[in-house]
Amino acid sequence: MTEQHRQPHGDATSEAGDLAVLEQQDHAITEPTELDAARLDRILDAVEAGDAEAVRAAIDPLHAADIADLLEQISPHQRRALLSLYALEIDGDILSHLDDSIREEVIESLPRDVLAEAMRELDTDDVVDILEDLEQPEQAFILQALESDDRAAVESALAWPEYSAGRLMQSETVTGPQDWTVGQAIDHLRSVEWLPDQFYHVILVDERHRPTGHVTLGRVLASRRDVALRDITEKEFRTIEATEEEAEVAFLFNKYHLISAPVVDAAGRLVGVITIDDAMTVLDEEHEEDMLRLSGVVMEASVSDNALTTARLRLPWLVVNLFTASLSAVVITQFEATIEALVVLAALMPIVASTGGIAGTQSLAVAVRALATRSLTSANATRVVWRELGAGMLNGAGLALILGLGGWLIFGDLWLGVVLGMAMICNQIVAALGGVLVPLGLNRLGLDPALASGTFVTTLTDVMGFFAFLGFATVFLL
Amino acid sequence: MTEQHRQPHGDATSEAGDLAVLEQQDHAITEPTELDAARLDRILDAVEAGDAEAVRAAIDPLHAADIADLLEQISPHQRRALLSLYALEIDGDILSHLDDSIREEVIESLPRDVLAEAMRELDTDDVVDILEDLEQPEQAFILQALESDDRAAVESALAWPEYSAGRLMQSETVTGPQDWTVGQAIDHLRSVEWLPDQFYHVILVDERHRPTGHVTLGRVLASRRDVALRDITEKEFRTIEATEEEAEVAFLFNKYHLISAPVVDAAGRLVGVITIDDAMTVLDEEHEEDMLRLSGVVMEASVSDNALTTARLRLPWLVVNLFTASLSAVVITQFEATIEALVVLAALMPIVASTGGIAGTQSLAVAVRALATRSLTSANATRVVWRELGAGMLNGAGLALILGLGGWLIFGDLWLGVVLGMAMICNQIVAALGGVLVPLGLNRLGLDPALASGTFVTTLTDVMGFFAFLGFATVFLL
């Protein structure tokens, strides 16, 4: 599985130092083929012409990640046509890079032997990542297509909970007993038939296979053969429980700048390794989830979703909002007499409400982000809430001044200006506090603070905005 | 700089295999000290008592990242008191982990010799990261405190543009000529006095110091001494231009699962290396920026900001919103006669407007995310816009049905229900299209699509919501 590769022209350059060849080699290496618009057009033309040869020629130089992008970005119709010409070339890496929403469709279209071969190429963590999203019959087929060692590893990974470290790890580890020297480690590494594609440490384990430290490969390489591994272990050493949530794993990697971390079972025995590239993928997905939830999209949405899926993912919060917005209507109804007496109020009330909505969204975004990065904790929650109150008062005062003066000048009514200003201050304070208190409360309840989403906070600021403005108007203007 | 460390009890275990000792060692390693609430209280108590010894005892076992968290989460007053007791212990790693907003304050409070020592400990990329946010006198002091090699490296990194790969990279590289064997590489690594803390590849360079390939350390370790390095280079090899934007670097690392990548100057010569942990930090910051911008916070905001800073960062969009919201007021003013005739319309109009705001925010978040991950491109933009139109129509129809029926039943007026429903459909379509077209347009103009922020889209949906509802009402109800 460790791929071997010879540089084109490698031998020529070392012998001759011929500049032209060097340039060429240099060029070939530093500019990998990109999926640009011209290539995309070329591929789609070849697909339309049914020219499998031309399709292959245009796609093969691309990185698996770019081929996956290609499959995601073309239409379902084009995708089916392309796959009918290119299916035999689909390999495991392409499947790995594909978005979940497309992957199942692609997998179903593959000839069984191509799929089996593609899965056999992958490290077990990638197989698990693909397998866990598939239906039962596909899962069973892929499992039986794997070699028995890999199958056992995949099955034991699948036994860990979804979104846990156990699902994220690769079960292939590089370990040595605690009393090994550098020389013994190197001899071992040279003698084993197979090594993981990626490993960055030699993990020291005790006789019960519990990790006790790890040594970077750089340190192994730089040390003399007679140096004991235990004398050159890293000062920082963190193991991760297999049941740990993957979001927590990503957080730890980012916080402590980990490159790889051993995963242990409940008895502390080594069961796998998580590497930073997988943690980075999780971090990216967590961010996506936060951003979409905050904006009221209930779950993973992809640009390759169709209109029906898109509508379905968004409808829940829209319906919720329909009812919460009716609260505003109920509030306004209480002031019908006021509006009837002074109909310009109906035109001005949305200004107070919507500026409150923006302030609430700002406060909410900062709080959700701070909770996600653990920089908002019980140690500083009170201070942050006071800070928000202060910021709400300051901006409320500033906005009140602008709006109040504007209202006074435009309508020639000092008291209308005063009412606008007072309502603005009230609503800015409610917005700033609501934006931080709602996610803090959800977090305290063990829920995802991003679930707060704009809907709750804008409802709050709408209701408060209308109530304050129409209330003050009733008192001061009638 | 490569830290050496002996495991506690390491020798005892290897000789005796004593279970008790093993348990203890295992425990000491797998549970690093956390900054929990109890420890935080202990630290703050010690700070209040002015007990430097107790402060040190409680802080020293913590990881630098946790000490940085501690400094960020306590109040400015507590921070000053803590620093006066603990300043001598502050090291480079702690400064590295600190949030920009706090770092300058901490650096200014450090005795000059402590600061100089702390900076000398760091790799040059970390020094650059700290230096670029400081004022001129501090920068000059730190530069002259560095050893001459490091100073030269830092100065040449600072010559690259802000937020470029050149600023992100470490200038320390591990290279070898293209014709080296594994044995020559190992001998070289063993002989050099100093190696970077982190390196994952040996980079092969030609005689002009241009990188032509790289070999993972795992491959070096697993190969016999007589194997030529060029025969075991990685198939995927990407170099990054020093002038490349750091956001693009983070994107490439995430997309292609890179671990480290050589950085080259305009002539293709190797000038440094970027490692994935730095790319992960950038990815995280880019996400933060997207989320905050989308929510109308103009730039980096931190929980440790005070109320004034917080207010200042949020005011710009609030003022913009004050004016854009006035557009809604102007629209409503055109329908004053309608509202006067049927004042219940004033109560119902915010429902249509606010549900449109939520739909616009949803569409916007998906589009901004898709643009950030390059999954929304010219190849599928048209299809995505049609998809949004379809989703807007579907959800518009569903919401129209609920709201229209509700309006009819509650107010006993079929035509009021029809007007509510029609306005809802119009506004949902405008929201869905606006949410995707505004960021697409900004992107086409070379601007950050996240700048669209909720403000623009909610203004659009407010204006459209009020106009459609009051317009239909004027036609059908009067």
Q: Is the sign of the CA dihedral B430, B450, A324, A300 positive or negative?
A: positive
What pLDDT was estimated at residue A373? 87
Sequence-ordered list of residues with C-beta below 8 angstroms from that of B451, at least 6 positions apart, any chain: B293, B442
Residues recorded for chain A: 478
Please tell me which residue of chain A has the smallest CA distance to B394. Answer: A311
Q: Do B295 and A361 touch (CB under 8 A)?
A: yes
CA B451/CA B297 separation, integer angstroms: 10
Q: Do A310 and B370 touch (CB under 8 A)?
A: no
What pLDDT was estimated at residue B418? 97
Q: Where are the beta strands (DSSP E) in A313-378?
A: none
Q: Do A221 and B186 touch (CB under 8 A)?
A: yes
Which of helix, strand or coil describes residue A440?
Answer: helix
Beta bridge mates, B273: B170, B262
Q: Beta-carbon neighbour count of residue A38 at 10 Å?
A: 10
Distance from CA of B277 to the nearest CA of A (A): 6
Residues of B in contact with A218 (CB under 8 A): 2, 174, 189, 195-196, 198-200, 217
Q: Do B284 and A288 touch (CB under 8 A)?
A: no
Q: Do A218 and B200 touch (CB under 8 A)?
A: yes
Cβ under 8 Å to A: B residues 397-416: 398-399, 402-403
Mean pLDDT score of chain A: 89
B301/A48: higher pLDDT: A48
B224 touches chain A (CB under 8 A): yes
> What letters, b where the CB count within 10 A reaches 16 and e where it falls short, cover A384-415?
bbebbebbbbbbbebbbebbbebbbeeeebee
Cβ under 8 Å to B: A residues 281-340: 281, 283-284, 287-288, 290-292, 294-297, 301-308, 310-311, 314-315, 317-319, 321-322, 325-326, 328-330, 332-333, 336, 339-340
Distance from CA of B74 to the nearest CA of A (A): 6
Distance from CA of B452 to the nearest CA of A (A): 13
Q: Do B291 and A291 touch (CB under 8 A)?
A: yes
CA B237/CA A32 separation, integer angstroms: 8
Among A296, A347, A366, the residue with its CB nearest the CB of B362 is A296
Q: Does pLDDT of B302 surpass 80? A: no
Write out the two tokens for B333.
Answer: 């003013």
Distance from CA of A118 to the nearest CA of B (A): 18
Q: Do B366 and A37 touch (CB under 8 A)?
A: no
Tell which residue, B73, B66, B129, has the closest CA to residue B96: B129
CA B248/CA B165 separation, integer angstroms: 9
Of B322, B384, B399, which to mutate for an interface test with A (greatest number of A Cβ within 10 Å)?
A: B322
Write out the two tokens for B151.
Answer: 């100073």
Q: Beta-carbon neighbour count of residue A17 at 10 Å?
A: 11
CA B169/CA B263 separation, integer angstroms: 7
CA B57/CA B441 separation, integer angstroms: 56
- This complex has an ipTM of 0.87
Q: Do A287 and B292 touch (CB under 8 A)?
A: no
Q: Does pLDDT of B299 surpass 80? A: no
Are the C-beta atoms of residues A222 and A283 closer than 8 Å to each other? Answer: no
- Rounded to 10 degrees, what is the CA torsion of A66, A68, A73, A75? 140
pLDDT tens figures, B326-348: 999 999 999 999 999 999 999 99
Residues of A in contact with B366 (CB under 8 A): 292, 295, 297, 301, 303, 310
Among B69, B223, B325, the residue with its CB nearest the CB of A354 is B325
Cβ under 8 Å to A: B residues 35-64: 37, 40, 63
Are the C-beta atoms of residues A437 and A385 closer than 8 Å to each other? Answer: yes
Write out the two tokens for B323.
Answer: 């004016």
Cβ under 8 Å to B: A residues 430-469: 454-455, 458-459, 462, 466
Are the C-beta atoms of residues A420 and A397 closer than 8 Å to each other? Answer: no
Distance from CA of A114 to the nearest CA of B (A): 22
Q: Where are the beta strands (DSSP E) in A323-437?
A: none
Distance from CA of A133 to the nearest CA of B (A): 21
Residues of A in contact with B403 (CB under 8 A): 322
Structure-token match 């006067």, residue found: B340
Beta bridge mates, B248: none
pLDDT tens figures, A358-393: 999 999 999 999 998 888 988 899 999 999 999 999
Q: Does pLDDT of A432 surpass 60? A: yes
What pLDDT was estimated at residue B12? 36
Of A4, A174, A287, which to mutate for an interface test with B (greatest number of B Cβ within 10 Å)?
A: A287
Among B254, B314, B330, the residue with its CB nearest the CB of A280 is B254
CA B26/CA A268 separation, integer angstroms: 8
pLDDT tens figures, B145-157: 999 988 999 999 9
Q: Do A198 and B210 touch (CB under 8 A)?
A: no
Q: Do B3 and A384 touch (CB under 8 A)?
A: no
Mean pLDDT score of chain B: 89
pLDDT band at A28 (very low <50, low <70, confident <90, very high): very low
Are the C-beta atoms of residues B355 and B424 closer than 8 Å to each other? Answer: yes
CA A238/CA A63 separation, integer angstroms: 33
Instruction: State the number of CA atoms in the 13 A half-sphere of B443 facing the CB.
Output: 21
Q: Do A346 and B339 touch (CB under 8 A)?
A: yes
Sequence-ordered list of residues with C-beta below 8 angstroms from that of A126, at least 6 positions apart, any chain: A92, A96
Which of helix, strand or coil describes residue B207?
Answer: coil
pLDDT band at A300 (very low <50, low <70, confident <90, very high): low
B74 touches chain A (CB under 8 A): yes
Return the ∠ at Cα A198 (arms to A195 and A204), rounded to 5°: 70
What pLDDT was estimated at residue A235? 87
A261 touches chain B (CB under 8 A): no
Q: Do B362 and A235 touch (CB under 8 A)?
A: no
What pLDDT was estimated at residue A22? 37
What pLDDT was estimated at residue B478? 87
Return the ∠ at Cα B450 (arms to B448 and B452), rounded to 5°: 100
Q: Do A75 and B387 touch (CB under 8 A)?
A: no
Q: Give B266: exposed, middle or buried? Use CB within 10 Å, 0-12, 13-18, 19+.
A: exposed
CA A77/CA A91 separation, integer angstroms: 21
Per-position DSSP letters for A224-239, written without gaps between them: -TTSBGGGB--S----
Sequence-ordered list of residues with C-beta below 8 angstroms from that of B86, at least 6 positions apart, any chain: B52, B55, B56, B59
CA B287/CA A280 separation, integer angstroms: 12
A379 touches chain B (CB under 8 A): yes
Q: What is the mean pLDDT of residues B121-134?
A: 89
Are the C-beta atoms of residues B396 and B428 closer than 8 Å to each other? Answer: yes
Write out the two tokens for A451.
Answer: 């679930």
pLDDT tens figures, B174-188: 999 999 999 999 999
CA B389/CA B58 separation, integer angstroms: 59
Residues of A in contact with B281 (CB under 8 A): 254
Give Cα A449 to chain centroid, integer Å.
Answer: 16
* List of domains in chain A: 27-162 (1.25.60.10), 175-294 (3.10.580.10), 307-477 (1.10.357.20)
CA A146/CA A118 separation, integer angstroms: 10
pLDDT tens figures, B364-421: 999 999 998 888 988 899 999 999 999 999 999 999 999 999 999 999 999 999 999 9
Are the C-beta atoms of residues A203 and A270 closer than 8 Å to each other? Answer: yes
Helix or strand (DSSP H, E) at A203: strand A201-205
Q: How far apart are the first and last CA of chain B?
A: 82
Per-position DSSP letters for B301-362, written without gaps between them: --TTS-HHHHHHHHHHHHHHHHHHHHHHHHHHHTTHHHHHH-THHHHHHHHHHHHHHHHHHH
Are the C-beta atoms of residues B115 and B92 closer than 8 Å to each other? Answer: no
Cβ under 8 Å to A: B residues 125-154: none
pLDDT band at A456 (very low <50, low <70, confident <90, very high): confident
Q: Is the sign of the CA dihedral B292, B293, B295, B298 positive or negative?
A: positive
Among B319, B326, B348, the residue with its CB nearest the CB of A329 is B348
Residues of B in contact with A268 (CB under 8 A): 26, 30
Please tell me which residue of chain B has the smallest CA distance to A458. Answer: B354
Per-position DSSP letters for A14-74, written without gaps between them: HHH--HHHHHHHHHHHHSPPP--HHHHHHHHHHHHTT-HHHHHHHHTTS-HHHHHHHHHHS
What pLDDT was estimated at residue B454? 81
pLDDT tens figures, A147-195: 998 899 999 999 999 999 999 999 889 999 999 999 999 999 999 988 8
The angle, 0 to 180 degrees and rounded to 10, between the axes of the packed helices A136-145 and A112-121 is 60
Write out the two tokens for B321.
Answer: 């919103």
pLDDT band at A5 (very low <50, low <70, confident <90, very high): very low
Write out the two tokens for B304.
Answer: 């440790």
What pLDDT was estimated at residue A1? 37
